[in-house]
């Protein structure tokens, strides 16, 4: 293991707002295992006073949970806001007012705002950098506020960006995305439909007909990347804990002979994008901060078409891992620090 030499390196104090959710827990684990970050506080409104059991660096840590109002926002170098959509923007405003950097994991600050028309609180930027380092790294270095992308959006946009930028997507065409996610994406709030007995041995679509919150940031970003296409996004619920696989049908503007070629060119030096000549599986990416991409040119098609498969761990590259990757960029650290476990 090539561990990062940590002597004489700067160290930063970071806090987590909303530590009891699945993303919040994963954030705590990553921070506790990060050589240059220290966990300053972890808040959980409804569980304050209790402790959170976090496995990191070979040990079980008992992290005390405090109420959000008790958090010393100004005393931290950076705060991760892992709060519910809608409730997050207000806390982002407070962190900004305290003069502290913030990575927001909700959809509140993302392009399209998750489809919700709302006024952001005073002080919160309308155009916070969108935290997909593989696409927009320059805007993230040293940034003070970053909107961490949605999990589905991460898997889809990292897969589609090279095609969009190369003009490979047929103009006016429909890009059809059938994605499937593990249940941890639905969060820790107990609901009947996420009980074990309802999910095991089951599988179904949900949020269909282009109604899912993540569609908005996908559309906005695709336009920004120069693509003129319609997205049809259909998520499904898998009987697994973690992981997203997006299966994407892309009508091409011109035939390709090598399905992976656009991705090789774009991601040659990306530490967190893996290309495979096979097909990515959830087991390849679980607990890792990567997007794993495979691609196939189907036979027997009149319309030149590329089939792209993109797998991530929804809690790591789809949430907490990417948030730490963004924090590393914001704080001037090695982008991969704490993420090569």
When the beta carbons of 126 and 196 are compared against a second copy, the nearer one is 196
When the beta carbons of 182 and 262 are compared against a second copy, the nearer one is 182
Task: Specify which residues 181 forms β-bridges with.
Answer: 237, 244
Radius of gyration (Cα) for the chain, nearest Å?
20
CA distance 245 to 176: 14
Which stretch, 67-75, 122-130, 152-160, 207-215, contacts a second copy (CB under 8 A)? Answer: 207-215
For the beta carbon of residue 295, count every other beta carbon within 10 angstroms.
25
- In the region spanning residues 250 to 279, those forming contacts with a second copy, defined by CB under 8 A, are 251, 274, 279
When the beta carbons of 124 and 173 are compared against a second copy, the nearer one is 173
Number of residues that bind a second copy (CB under 8 A): 87
- In the region spanning residues 127 to 186, those forming contacts with a second copy, defined by CB under 8 A, are 172-174, 176, 178, 180, 182-184
Q: How far is the CB of 94 from a second copy (least distance, A)?
A: 28
Q: Is 274 helix (H, G, I), strand (E, B) or coil?
A: strand
The end-to-end CA distance of the chain, in Å, is: 9
Cβ–Cβ under 8 Å, residues 307 and 251: no
Q: How far is the CB of 296 from a second copy (least distance, A)?
A: 4
- In the region spanning residues 6 to 35, those forming contacts with a second copy, defined by CB under 8 A, are 6, 22, 32-35
Q: Per the residue annotation, which of 76, 79, 95, 151 is the catalytic one?
A: 151
Site string for a second copy, 279-318 (x = CB under 8 A): xxxxxx-x-xx------xxxxxxxx-x-x-x---------
Q: How far is the CB of 69 from a second copy (least distance, A)?
A: 24
What's phi and psi for 52, nearest 5 deg?
-110, 130
When the beta carbons of 49 and 209 are compared against a second copy, the nearer one is 209
Stated as kind and residue range, the H or E segment containing 311 is strand 305-312
From 310, 304, 317, 319, select the one nearest 159 (Cα to Cα): 310
Which stretch, 70-78, 104-112, 127-135, 333-341, contacts a second copy (CB under 8 A)? Answer: 333-341
Return the residue matching tokens 């010393």: 72
For the beta carbon of residue 70, count every other beta carbon within 10 angstroms.
10
Q: How far is the CB of 96 from a second copy (least distance, A)?
A: 30
Residues in the chain, overall count: 341
- Which stretches of 33-150 are DSSP H helices? 88-97, 133-140
- In the region spanning residues 57 to 76, those forming contacts with a second copy, defined by CB under 8 A, are 57-60
Q: How far is the CB of 136 from a second copy (least distance, A)?
A: 22
Say whether residue 116 binds a second copy (CB under 8 A). Answer: no
Cβ–Cβ under 8 Å, residues 128 and 113: no
Q: Is 151 a catalytic residue?
A: yes
DSSP 71: -
CA distance 56 to 339: 12
When the beta carbons of 93 and 279 are compared against a second copy, the nearer one is 279
Q: Is 167 helix (H, G, I), strand (E, B) or coil?
A: coil
Among 188, 223, 264, 332, binds a second copy (CB under 8 A): 188
Among 50, 195, 226, 264, binds a second copy (CB under 8 A): 195
When the beta carbons of 31 and 143 are compared against a second copy, the nearer one is 31
Among 197, 254, 257, 268, binds a second copy (CB under 8 A): 197
Q: What is the DSSP string of 14-28?
A: EEEESTTSHHHHHHH
Say whether residue 201 binds a second copy (CB under 8 A). Answer: yes
DSSP 169: B
- In the region spanning residues 208 to 237, those forming contacts with a second copy, defined by CB under 8 A, are 208-211, 219, 230, 232, 234, 236
Q: Which residues are catalytic?
A: 151
């Amino acid at each position: 293991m090539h561990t990062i030499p940590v002597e004489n390196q700067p160290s930063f104090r970071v806090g987590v707002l909303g530590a009891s959710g699945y993303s919040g827990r994963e954030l705590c684990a990553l921070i506790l295992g990060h050589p240059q970050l220290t966990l300053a506080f972890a808040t959980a409104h409804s569980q304050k006073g209790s402790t959170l059991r976090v496995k990191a660096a070979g040990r079980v840590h008992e992290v005390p949970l405090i109420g959000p109002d008790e958090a010393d926002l100004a005393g931290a170098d950076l705060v991760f806001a892992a709060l519910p959509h809608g409730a997050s923007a207000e806390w982002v405003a407070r962190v900004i007012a305290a003069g502290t950097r913030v990575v927001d994991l909700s959809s509140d600050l993302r392009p399209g705002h998750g489809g919700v028309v709302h006024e952001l609180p005073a002080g919160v930027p309308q155009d916070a950098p969108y935290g997909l380092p593989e696409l927009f790294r320059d805007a993230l270095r040293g940034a003070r506020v970053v909107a961490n992308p949605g999990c589905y959006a991460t898997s889809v946009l990292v897969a589609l960006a090279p095609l969009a930028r190369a003009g490979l997507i047929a103009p006016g065409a429909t890009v059809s995305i059938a994605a499937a996610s593990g249940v941890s994406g639905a969060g820790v709030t107990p609901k009947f439909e996420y009980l074990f007995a309802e999910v095991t041995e089951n599988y179904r679509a949900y949020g269909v007909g282009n109604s899912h919150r993540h569609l908005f940031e996908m559309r906005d970003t695709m336009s920004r990347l120069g693509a003129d296409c319609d997205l049809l996004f259909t998520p499904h619920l898998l009987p697994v804990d973690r992981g997203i696989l997006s299966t994407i049908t892309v009508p091409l503007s011109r035939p390709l002979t090598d399905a992976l070629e656009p991705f090789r060119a774009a991601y040659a030096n990306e530490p967190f994008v893996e290309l495979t000549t096979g097909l990515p599986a959830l087991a390849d990416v679980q607990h890792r901060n990567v997007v794993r991409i495979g691609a196939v040119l189907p036979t027997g098609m009149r319309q030149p078409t590329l089939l792209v498969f993109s797998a991530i761990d929804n809690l790591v590259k789809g949430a907490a891992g990417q948030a730490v990757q963004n924090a590393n960029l914001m704080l001037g650290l090695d982008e991969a620090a704490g993420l090569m476990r």
